[in-house]
Every structure is written in structure tokens, then in C-alpha cells.
């Protein structure tokens, strides 16, 4: 998923020159350039093929070909693009204000990807860590759609606990991170959760991980189905990025039982 604020040359999302590239299940959205090709700039006889992609709301326009070729199939491209199965319709992302480019429940991109995925060498899971094909046919974009289930979670951190709630003074420090801090060892979580400012009453970041297993003993890392960074409020409630009572969620098909693992940078992990 691309999301760059501004590019002074062509290709707000991708600038491709003298290469042969297949873009499979990519989501490129909300990029800007003062030249051409808000999403993709094709240069120097590059040959680009797009399968199951979403290119939307990139300025100015999605694809610019200086020299070379761009072919697309079963992709949602704003402004339209010739090719089998292509769409030109708002993909209805879940929440672009919080950079959530997963598919909403009414997205026209659900189950609209390539019918035959032979030869695409798809990974087992989508960008969110869910099984890549969730309903018999692949979706367009980087995320496979699954029905969302909100998680009502509450924990208390011993360090800032003050008898009935937690102190939120940590967030006033100058170096308190505005983006999720779990993108290093041992968590190695590459999510793009970020905010312009820390919401009121937030104590710290946590990483919420969900596992699908028959019992606690089998809820190992091998059974992980989703991960999401979130905030913990001074009353212990774990909330999403908007700072309201919105809860973190899991979008996946649960076969057995749902186990929730919560990571914090300075506390023991709990399940």
C-alpha cells in the first residue's frame, strides 16, 4: 500500500523505468506528484502488468505512460483502464482518515479479482495476515475482506497505575511516538498505524494479536490470524486510532476459538 505525501517528479506511488514488472494485489492510493502519474509512471520502455490491483485517488491521475506498456486485468483503476474485469468505481475502503485501506463491507472489490490465479505465485496471506483467498475468489487490492469483529478489551499497566486508573503523562514527552513503535525486534510488526497527535487520555501504545486455536495450549504463533497496533486509555480500555471508544477489530474467519495476545514495550506479554 502506497501513501506518500508529495513527489516532485513523476510517479507518486511508483516510478518504473526499463523494467518488466507484475503488480499483483497492490493498493496504491492517496499519492500526489507535481508531474504525471499519481500512482504509476511508466518510463524508458518499462512493461508493467497489474493484476487484482486498486489504484484510486492519486493525483494527477493513476497511470502515465511516457514510453512502454501498461496492461491491467481485474483491477479497480480510477478513470478506467481497458482490460478484462477492470472496474472504475470507488473501492469503499474502511477508513482512509486513519490510513485503513482494507475493504469495507460494501466494497465492490470483494470477490472481483482474477478468477484463475494460476501462475500468479500468490502468498498464503494478505497484507493484514489473513488467508489470501477468503471466499472462493480473490479480492482486489492488498487486503482480503473478512467480516470485522470488534474486540472489547481492558488491561491495566502496573507502572502508571494509580489506584483507580493510569497516569497518561508519558504521552507528553517530546519523543513519544506518533506512529506504532512495534516495527522492530522482537515484534517485527510492519503496520502503518499513525496519528497527527495523541488523543486525550491515552497512556501508551499496545500491539493486539489474535490467534485461532482449539485451546490455550495450541494458541501458538503458528495460529496468528491478525495483528493491530492500538492505544490504551487511562481507564484501561484499548481503543483504535481515532481516540474515541472505537475498539480494535479482527477481520478473519475463526474456525476454533479466538485468543487475544497483548504486547507492550515494557511489560510482560499476556494472553
* DSSP E strands, 199-256: 202-213, 224-233, 238-239, 249-251
Return the closest-CA partner of residue 180 out of 191, 196, 172. Answer: 191
Residue 248 has pLDDT above 80, yes or no: no
91 or 240, which is more confident?
Answer: 91
pLDDT at 241 over 90: no
Q: What is the mean pLDDT of residues 189-210?
A: 91
Question: Could you report the per-residue pLDDT of 26-40, keeping only the tens digit for each?
Answer: 999 999 998 899 999
Comparing CA positions, the residue from 198, 186, 188 lying closest to residue 230 is 198
Q: What is the pLDDT of residue 225?
A: 84
Percentage of residues in the chain with pLDDT exceeding 70? 96
CA distance 226 to 231: 17
pLDDT of 124 reads 84
pLDDT of residue 151: 87
pLDDT at 1: 46
Mean pLDDT of the region 98-113: 91
* pLDDT greater than 90 at residue 50: yes
Select from 249, 139, 141 the least CA-distant residue to 193.
Answer: 249
Average pLDDT over residues 204-220: 95
Any idea how long the chain is? 271
Burial class (CB in 10 A: 0-12, 13-18, 19+), 217: exposed
Q: 5 pLDDT band (50/70/90 cuts)?
A: low
Residue 86 has pLDDT above 90, yes or no: yes
pLDDT at 132: 87
Which is nearest to 255 in space by CA: 225, 231, 234, 232?
A: 225
- Going from the C-alpha of 114 to that of each of 24, 88, 269, the distances in angstroms are 10, 16, 40
CB 109 within 8 A of CB 117: no
pLDDT, residue 131, reads 81
Share of the chain above pLDDT 90, in %: 67
219: pLDDT confidence band, cut at 50, 70 and 90?
Answer: very high
Amino acid at each position: 500500500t502506497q501513501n506518500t505525501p508529495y513527489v516532485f517528479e513523476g510517479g507518486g506511488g511508483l516510478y518504473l523505468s526499463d523494467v518488466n514488472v507484475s503488480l499483483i494485489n497492490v493498493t496504491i492510493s492517496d499519492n500526489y506528484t507535481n508531474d504525471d502519474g499519481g500512482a504509476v509512471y511508466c518510463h524508458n520502455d518499462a512493461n508493467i502488468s497489474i493484476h487484482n490491483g486498486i489504484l484510486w485517488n492519486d493525483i494527477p491521475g493513476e497511470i502515465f505512460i511516457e514510453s512502454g506498456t501498461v496492461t491491467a486485468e481485474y483491477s479497480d483503476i480510477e478513470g478506467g483502464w481497458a482490460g478484462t474485469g477492470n472496474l472504475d468505481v470507488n473501492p469503499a475502503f474502511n477508513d482512509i482518515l486513519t490510513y485503513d485501506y482494507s475493504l469495507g463491507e460494501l466494497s465492490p472489490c470483494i470477490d472481483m479479482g482474477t478468477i484463475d490465479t494460476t501462475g500468479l505465485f500468490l502468498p498464503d496471506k494478505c497484507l493484514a495476515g489473513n488467508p489470501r483467498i477468503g471466499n472462493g475468489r480473490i479480492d482486489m487490492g492488498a487486503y482480503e475482506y473478512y467480516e470485522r469483529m470488534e474486540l472489547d478489551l481492558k488491561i491495566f499497566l502496573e507502572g502508571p497505575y494509580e489506584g483507580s486508573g493510569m497516569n497518561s503523562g508519558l504521552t507528553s514527552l517530546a519523543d513519544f511516538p506518533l506512529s506504532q513503535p512495534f516495527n522492530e525486534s522482537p515484534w517485527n510488526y510492519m503496520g502503518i498505524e499513525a496519528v497527527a497527535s495523541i488523543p486525550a487520555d491515552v497512556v501508551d501504545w499496545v500491539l493486539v494479536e489474535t490467534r485461532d486455536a482449539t485451546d490455550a495450549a495450541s494458541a501458538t504463533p503458528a495460529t496468528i490470524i491478525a495483528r493491530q497496533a492500538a492505544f490504551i486509555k487511562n481507564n484501561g480500555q484499548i481503543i483504535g486510532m481515532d481516540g474515541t471508544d472505537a475498539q480494535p477489530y479482527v477481520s478473519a474467519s475463526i474456525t476454533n476459538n479466538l485468543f487475544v495476545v497483548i504486547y507492550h514495550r515494557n511489560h510482560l506479554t499476556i494472553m
